[in-house]
Amino acid sequence: MEISTSQFKRCDVVKISGRLDSATSPKLAEELARINNQGRFKIVMDFTQLEFISSAGLRVLIATLKNCKRYNRGELVLAGLPAPILSVFDLAGFTSIFKIYDDVLTAVGTF
Protein backbone atom coordinates (compact mmCIF):
# COMPACT_ATOMS: atom_id res chain seq x y z
CA MET A 1 0.00 0.00 0.00
CA GLU A 2 1.17 3.50 -0.83
CA ILE A 3 -0.13 6.64 0.87
CA SER A 4 0.30 10.14 -0.50
CA THR A 5 -1.08 13.21 1.20
CA SER A 6 -1.72 16.64 -0.33
CA GLN A 7 -2.55 19.57 1.89
CA PHE A 8 -4.92 22.17 0.46
CA LYS A 9 -6.27 25.36 2.02
CA ARG A 10 -9.64 23.87 2.94
CA CYS A 11 -8.87 20.16 3.27
CA ASP A 12 -6.32 17.35 3.01
CA VAL A 13 -6.49 14.69 0.29
CA VAL A 14 -5.15 11.27 1.26
CA LYS A 15 -4.60 8.95 -1.68
CA ILE A 16 -4.29 5.22 -1.10
CA SER A 17 -3.13 2.70 -3.66
CA GLY A 18 -2.99 -1.07 -3.23
CA ARG A 19 -4.37 -3.15 -0.37
CA LEU A 20 -5.81 -1.79 2.86
CA ASP A 21 -5.81 -4.81 5.19
CA SER A 22 -4.63 -5.81 8.69
CA ALA A 23 -0.99 -5.50 7.56
CA THR A 24 -1.29 -2.00 6.10
CA SER A 25 -4.13 -0.29 7.99
CA PRO A 26 -1.93 0.74 10.99
CA LYS A 27 0.11 2.87 8.55
CA LEU A 28 -3.07 4.65 7.39
CA ALA A 29 -4.23 5.11 11.00
CA GLU A 30 -0.87 6.73 11.77
CA GLU A 31 -1.11 9.10 8.79
CA LEU A 32 -4.69 10.15 9.57
CA ALA A 33 -3.77 10.69 13.25
CA ARG A 34 -0.84 12.86 12.12
CA ILE A 35 -3.23 15.06 10.09
CA ASN A 36 -5.76 15.28 12.97
CA ASN A 37 -2.97 16.11 15.42
CA GLN A 38 -2.13 19.16 13.26
CA GLY A 39 -5.68 20.37 13.91
CA ARG A 40 -6.89 19.39 10.43
CA PHE A 41 -10.20 17.53 10.35
CA LYS A 42 -11.48 18.01 6.79
CA ILE A 43 -10.20 15.03 4.82
CA VAL A 44 -10.91 13.53 1.41
CA MET A 45 -9.91 9.88 0.95
CA ASP A 46 -8.96 9.30 -2.69
CA PHE A 47 -9.73 5.62 -3.32
CA THR A 48 -9.40 5.60 -7.11
CA GLN A 49 -6.30 3.34 -6.86
CA LEU A 50 -7.54 1.25 -3.90
CA GLU A 51 -7.52 -2.45 -4.82
CA PHE A 52 -8.82 -4.05 -1.63
CA ILE A 53 -10.23 -3.12 1.78
CA SER A 54 -10.94 -5.37 4.77
CA SER A 55 -12.71 -4.68 8.06
CA ALA A 56 -9.34 -3.56 9.48
CA GLY A 57 -9.34 -0.69 6.95
CA LEU A 58 -13.02 0.05 7.60
CA ARG A 59 -12.25 0.33 11.35
CA VAL A 60 -9.63 3.02 10.71
CA LEU A 61 -12.06 4.99 8.56
CA ILE A 62 -14.93 4.87 11.04
CA ALA A 63 -12.69 5.81 13.99
CA THR A 64 -11.28 8.76 12.00
CA LEU A 65 -14.75 9.85 10.84
CA LYS A 66 -15.91 9.95 14.48
CA ASN A 67 -12.85 11.98 15.45
CA CYS A 68 -13.22 14.42 12.54
CA LYS A 69 -16.92 15.06 13.23
CA ARG A 70 -16.44 15.66 16.95
CA TYR A 71 -17.40 19.26 17.94
CA ASN A 72 -18.59 19.71 14.35
CA ARG A 73 -15.01 20.47 13.36
CA GLY A 74 -14.86 18.52 10.13
CA GLU A 75 -15.64 15.44 8.10
CA LEU A 76 -13.93 12.55 6.37
CA VAL A 77 -15.37 11.99 2.90
CA LEU A 78 -14.63 9.29 0.34
CA ALA A 79 -14.08 9.62 -3.40
CA GLY A 80 -13.56 7.38 -6.42
CA LEU A 81 -14.49 4.03 -4.92
CA PRO A 82 -14.08 1.14 -7.38
CA ALA A 83 -17.35 -0.85 -7.75
CA PRO A 84 -16.32 -3.99 -5.79
CA ILE A 85 -15.13 -1.83 -2.88
CA LEU A 86 -18.33 0.21 -2.95
CA SER A 87 -20.27 -3.07 -2.63
CA VAL A 88 -18.34 -3.91 0.59
CA PHE A 89 -19.13 -0.44 1.97
CA ASP A 90 -22.78 -1.02 1.16
CA LEU A 91 -22.79 -4.44 2.84
CA ALA A 92 -21.17 -3.01 5.97
CA GLY A 93 -23.79 -0.23 6.11
CA PHE A 94 -21.12 2.41 5.49
CA THR A 95 -22.83 4.11 2.56
CA SER A 96 -25.33 5.68 4.98
CA ILE A 97 -22.71 7.16 7.33
CA PHE A 98 -20.01 8.32 4.89
CA LYS A 99 -20.39 10.99 2.24
CA ILE A 100 -19.25 9.30 -0.96
CA TYR A 101 -18.41 11.15 -4.19
CA ASP A 102 -17.64 9.87 -7.68
CA ASP A 103 -14.44 11.89 -8.01
CA VAL A 104 -11.90 13.73 -5.89
CA LEU A 105 -12.56 17.16 -7.40
CA THR A 106 -16.23 17.06 -6.43
CA ALA A 107 -15.32 15.82 -2.93
CA VAL A 108 -12.78 18.63 -2.42
CA GLY A 109 -15.38 21.15 -3.63
CA THR A 110 -17.73 20.24 -0.78
CA PHE A 111 -15.39 21.78 1.83
Partner 1 sequence: MKTRIFPGRYESLAEIAEFVTNEAQNAGLNHQETFELETAVDEAVSNIIEHAYGGEGIGEIKCHCLIEDDGIKIVLEDYGQPFDPSCVPTPDIKAQLKNRKNHGLGFFLMCQLMDDIKFEFYHDHNRLTMFKKKKES
Which residues make up the interface to partner 1 (CB under 8 A)?
Answer: 19, 21-23, 52, 54-56, 58-59, 62-63, 65-66, 69, 83-84, 87-88, 91-93, 96-97
DSSP string, the chain: -EEEEEE-SS-EEEEEEEEESTTTHHHHHHHHHHHHHTT--EEEEEEEEEEEE-HHHHHHHHHHHHHHHGGG--EEEEE---HHHHHHHHHTT-TTTS-EESSHHHHHHT-
Which is closer to partner 1, CB of 52 or CB of 111? 52
* Smallest distance, partner 1 to C-beta of residue 6, A: 26
* Smallest distance, partner 1 to C-beta of residue 83, A: 8
Which is closer to partner 1, CB of 13 or CB of 75? 75
* Smallest distance, partner 1 to C-beta of residue 99, A: 12
Which is closer to partner 1, CB of 40 or CB of 69? 69
